[in-house]
Amino acid sequence: MQQLLKNIHSDHFAIMGILNVTPDSFSDGGKFDRVEAALKHALDMQAEGADIVDVGGESTRPGAEPVSEEQEIQRVVPVIEAIQENSDVLISVDTSKPAVMRAAIQAGASMVNDVNALQADGAVECCADLGVPVCLMHMKGEPRTMQQNPEYEDVTGEVSGFLQERARVCVEAGIPNENIVIDPGFGFGKNLDQNVTLFKQLNAICKLNFPVLVGISRKSMLGQILDRPVDERLVGSVAAAVMAYNKGARLFRVHDVAATHDALKVCEAVDGAV
Ligand code: 7PJ
């Protein structure tokens, strides 16, 4: 994982394929709930060009109820073990709970992806101790209520300030700079206007000197722009990935790996041309 992060500066990108193992996930609807189906989906995504598979056992969709630590571990650990036994794809765990981080890394994950930017008690110390890369994401509020009228004076300034501060806290706790990835958190406590403004100004986040990961795939901001249901947002999602690449993002958390991979290969080839 560390090597991958070293390689994604300049024009190179990496794709993180989404593997939800929740019964109420954003768009997989629990289809990949069982370990075997999850493993197959992970292998399919790797074949389509995913560098990382992001395994998540807690739904963070707006309005979702929290799950217990034990429940989350029971959901993600068997899936991570199965992937790690059957494939060399890198695995990240999408969680905010230190106990889940620890169990997941022990099972074979090599990165922590936290929508809560390691703000839970003990999370920063846990990741410093585990020695793995972390993705710090901005969210305003908490998933259950975050879409109820979020307000900002300057959305990009606030997101950027927050990410810099979280990165500082991580470095101070012993997580080296090169193990830090940042993410503006599209759709997490942001309305359509705020998401679009933040996207337009994504360069500002990319100037912070950490690799930037974006998660826009199939999100409701695209649904609002396109007026399309979640299963008809492929083209919009790929367009958004291309735009984010052009603004400096290099890590892409997506459902549709093959299509995104093709689009970004074109970006990379053009960007890398003399
Ligand atoms: C994100 C995430 C994101 C990171 C989710 C969904 C909602 N992790 N986990 N960034 N979104 N780092 O996939 O639609 O945007 S869950």
Tens digit of pLDDT for each residue in 46-101?
Answer: 999 999 999 999 987 777 778 899 999 999 999 999 999 999 999 999 999 999 99
Question: What pTM, to 2 d.p., does this model score?
Answer: 0.95
The catalytic residue positions are 219, 253
Give 274 Cα–ligand 1 centroid separation in angstroms. 34
Tens digit of pLDDT for each residue in 87-145?
Answer: 999 999 999 999 999 999 999 999 999 999 999 999 999 999 999 999 999 999 888 88
The ligand 1 atom nearest the CA atom of 27: 14
Backbone angles phi, psi at 41, to 5 degrees: -65, -40
Reply yes or no on whether the pLDDT at 235 is more than 80. yes
The ligand 1 atom nearest the CA atom of 216: 15
Give 18 Cα–ligand 1 centroid separation in angstroms. 9
Cβ(215) – ligand 1 distance below 6 Å: yes
Q: Whose CA is nearest to atom 3 of ligand 1?
A: 215
Helix H, strand E, coil C: the string for the chain is CHHHHHHCCCCCCEEEEEEECCCCCCCCCCCCCCHHHHHHHHHHHHHCCCCEEEEECCCCCCCCCCCCHHHHHHHHHHHHHHHHHHCCCEEEEECCCHHHHHHHHHHCCCEEEECCCCCCCCHHHHHHHHCCCEEEECCCCCCCCCCCCCCCCCHHHHHHHHHHHHHHHHHHCCCCHHHEEEECCCCCCCCHHHHHHHHHCHHHHHCCCCCEEECCCCCHHHHHHHCCCHHHCHHHHHHHHHHHHHCCCCEEEECCHHHHHHHHHHHHHHHHCC
Cβ(183) – ligand 1 distance below 6 Å: yes
Q: Whose CA is nearest to atom 15 of ligand 1?
A: 215
Cβ(57) – ligand 1 distance below 6 Å: no
Residue 24 confidence (pLDDT) = 59
Q: Whose CA is nearest to atom 10 of ligand 1?
A: 215
Q: Whose CA is nearest to atom 1 of ligand 1?
A: 215
Name residue 124's amino acid: V
The ligand 1 atom nearest the CA atom of 255: 13
The ligand 1 atom nearest the CA atom of 113: 12
Name residue 131's amino acid: G
Q: Whose CA is nearest to atom 9 of ligand 1?
A: 115
